Amino acid sequence: MRTISSKFAHINPAARRHSQDLREAARIAVEVSLKVKPGEQALIISNPETDVAALAEAIYDAVLDAQACPVLLFQPVKTQLDFAEPAVIAAFSAKPAVCISLSAEKLGKDKQGIASPYTYGNIQYDHIFHLQMYGEKTCRGFWSPSTTVASFIRTVPIDYELLKRRCAAVKAVLDQAVSIHITAPGGTDIRFGLQAREAKSDDGDFSAGGKGGNLPAGETFISPENGTAKGVIAFDGSISLHDRDIIIQEPIRCTLSRGFITDIQGGQEAAALLETIGLAEANAREYEKAGTLPPGTGEIYARNARNIGEIGIGLNPAARISGRMLEDEKAFQTCHFAVGLNYDGDAPSLIHLDGLVKNPTIIAADEKGTQTVIEREGNLCNL
């Protein structure tokens, strides 16, 4: 095996105690999930931070072992509101077949893409990575924001065939649903429509152009029909903010009407969520003034900072709530809602803040009124 370990020996010596398990998890990511082929270009983007740097190095080595051509770029840590370095965005001009983001926080926004979105067909994309992944479909990959070595080696080597079946079963129900009702012991009681929405599965199969997701994998998710969410979400697991993920000590109670959060109550965690939403609203208006957002879109981005953009269901049996959303949102006996932008491109925002609800009961209804229980009190039903 060729290695660059000696070049990065200063970054994370402690993580090397896991070297054998880490090599195996990296091999699974590259050979099983991505199915990297000899000669393919693989762009790996990371930060010089302890765990993600060690993971990036291991993935680099695994790509070399697959006889492909990796390039590893380090940039400073980026939050949800930061822009990626120009050199990182420029690297996509090489049209890599594989792109892997192992970031301490986020990959970073595409400044040029936000100011002047890329168009493919009738769809606009505000990031060149999204253009190549979802539009041109020349790229595949995975992204693992805020992951750790310990989490990666525990949650990546799983039964992907079983995961794929579970994800597909939940997706089939959601695709046929026109509405959904979620309740939970912590106080969640929310309904919204799903008309003309299609669910997506993060099942770990990223083997073809246009496919991508998280590692660890393990969720099926869908964007609510705009303007339909009503009720209460009581976040009681963990939640993402613009610059970090936190475990929730006192539930964050969000009241919703017509798709938007109208009130947020709770303790310090609720105040932190309000702060992040406020930053997203203010930055959207400032970005338009500065020409970073197209004219007339600043207020749209600001309004959608209070949108509910996703409902996702955790399906990875090795995942657990740790205060790192990448893993938390895959945990069994949880669902998560995202505050901010959705995955259908019709509710843009500067933020996408996932927040967990524990032990949910999730009931979907199709156009005939037939109800299907996906989870009952956190337990996955027979799908």
Mean pLDDT within 74-84:
95
Confidence of residue 382 (pLDDT cuts 50, 70, 90): confident
Confidence (pLDDT) at 18 = 56
**Domains recognised in the chain with CATH numbers:** 5-150 (3.40.1830), 158-380 (no CATH)
pLDDT score of 25 more than 90 = yes
φ, ψ for residue 46 (rounded to 5)? -150, -170
Mean pLDDT within 182-197:
97
Interhelix angle 50-65/19-27, rounded to 10 degrees, is 60
pLDDT score of 179 more than 60 = yes
Residue 173's closest CA among 378, 377, 373? 373
- Give CA 127 to chain center in angstroms: 15
Confidence (pLDDT) at 219 = 98
Mean pLDDT within 133-147:
96
pLDDT score of 8 more than 50 = no
Confidence (pLDDT) at 13 = 53
**Mind listing the pLDDT tens digit for each residue in 324-363?**
999 999 999 999 999 999 999 899 999 999 999 999 999 9
Mean pLDDT within 107-112:
96
Query: CB burial class (10 A; 0-12, 13-18, 19+) of residue 62?
Result: buried
Residue 186's closest CA among 228, 222, 224, 232? 232
pLDDT score of 383 more than 90 = no
Mean pLDDT taken over the chain: 94
Query: Which pTM value belongs to this model?
Result: 0.86
**Mind listing the pLDDT tens digit for each residue in 261-307?**
999 999 999 999 999 999 999 999 999 999 999 999 999 999 999 99
Confidence (pLDDT) at 1 = 43
Write down the residue that tokens 């929310």 correspond to.
Answer: 190
Percent of the chain at pLDDT exceeding 70? 95
